[in-house]
Copies of this chain bind each other. A is one copy, B any other.
Amino acid sequence: MEQRKKVQKKICDLGKDVLSKINTGKSPFIEIPIRSLSNVVWDEKKGLLKLGENKSKRYFFNVGMARKFMQTFLVASFCNDIVKENIHASIRDMYYNLKRTLGDTHENTFEDQEESNPLIVDLETSLEVLREQLHLIADRKGVVAGNVKIRDRGDLINWSKLGSGGWSIPSTVENIKFEKVNAKFILVIEKNAGFERLHEDRFWKKYNCILVGTGGQAARGTRRLIKRLNQEFKLPVYVLTDSDSYGWYIYSVIKSGSMALAHASEQLGTPSARFIGLTISDIADYNLEKSVIKATDRDIKRAKELLTYPWFDHKEWKREIKLMIQKKIKAEIEALSSRGLKFLSEVYLPEKLKKKEFLP
């Protein structure tokens, strides 16, 4: 409730600011942080990718900017309405809802979604709110299980009593209230099948943890949920991915944010997250040589890119990435199944947790 009012106030202030500029005879404009790569900076202290200070001004009395200016306010007004009404919409719903022909002209408010999508990020950055706080939902993905009780839309939900299914993480987790959190850490696993295996073995129960399956690159809702649990309950986060440049990048996005969403890193990134595996060293350590896959040129190219990212600038990571490039190999989480289907839950993870063998 409180939060909705804050967001509405921010939107209204944006409008009032433009109105006051008009009243004083000035050309109205809004300031929007620049989101190109040149303005993405690595905040080493916080361990997060963030937007820099550069901003651009969008003027109303400018032939090249007037259309976008008008569109920005259509989007802002739409968000104000749905926040007020307390309903949510997808960005596609918004596009269709706002698309129309203006007055007696042949001018459409929007021609396609490519026009409306970036404006949402413009508003996120200039108002310093998350898209979810503007009540615009992103695609849901991700599932969770563990000894946790939450309250959501009035329902009391017990994450330990959902059978084989788990709780499907919605795109917006802002309004979830954690009623009881009984866990020592959070284990995030990139693969759905791995989640199901660990869930079936009741790993979360035996090791008193919260098990999160991301199903590939983690969705915004899933990243925000991890962040909230980490922050509000001081739970360590351990991430398990394939042993290759793409898996490692999935980890780094959960930890430090992404370049495309650098403006939202503070809300979505969990800088204290640690990497539990798989590493290239694991291949020899756990006798997985028979299960390695030859790395493609694309894998190697991506690995070389990781070497240039400051957030992978740790000797442990450099060692693993270089090993991958040098040996031209990679491995999947499922490679551990060559040692037995329960090897992951009964040997690999317990050993790593016991030895605290994590990468930064």
Taking Cβ atoms with an 8 Å cutoff, the residues of A that contact B are 82, 87-90, 92-97, 99-101, 137, 139-140, 143, 150-157, 161-172, 175-176, 192-193, 196-197, 200-201, 290-291, 332, 334-338, 340-342
The answer, among B196, B340, B342, for a CB contact under 8 Å with A90, is: B196
Measured between beta carbons, the chain B residues less than 8 angstroms from A152 are 162-165
Chain B contacts for A169, CB-based, 8 A: 165
Decide: A163 and B176 in contact? CB cutoff 8 A: yes
Task: Please state if B170 and A334 are interface contacts (CB–CB under 8 Å).
Answer: no
User: How long is the Cα–Cα vector from A335 to B166 in the complex, in angstroms?
Assistant: 32
Q: Are B197 and A89 in contact (CB under 8 A)?
A: yes
Partner of A99, one of B93, B137, B163, B290: B290
Instruction: List B contacts of A192 (CB < 8 A).
Output: 139-140
- Indicate if the CB atoms of A168 and B170 lie closer than 8 Å: no
The answer to whether residues A100 and B290 also contact, given A89-B337, A93-B197 and a CB cut-off of 8 A, is yes
Partner of A341, one of B87, B140, B193: B87
Please state if B155 and A193 are interface contacts (CB–CB under 8 Å): no
Bound-state CA distance A155–B162 (Å) is 6
A193 touches B137 (CB 8 A): yes
Given A93-B337, A139-B193, are A168 and B166 neighbors across the interface (CB < 8 Å)?
yes
Q: How many copies does the complex hold?
A: 2
A93 CA to B333 CA, complexed, in Å: 9
Does more than half of chain A's interface fall in helix, strand or loop, or is it mixed? mixed
A340 partner residues in chain B, CB cutoff 8 A: 97
CB neighbours of A154 from chain B (8 A): 163
Q: Are A165 and B163 in contact (CB under 8 A)?
A: no
Please report the C-alpha to C-alpha distance between residue A116 and residue B140 in the assembled complex, in whole angstroms: 31
Residue in chain B with minimal CB distance to A90? B193
Contact A332 B92 (CB under 8 A): yes
Q: B residues within 8 A CB of A88?
A: 196-197, 200
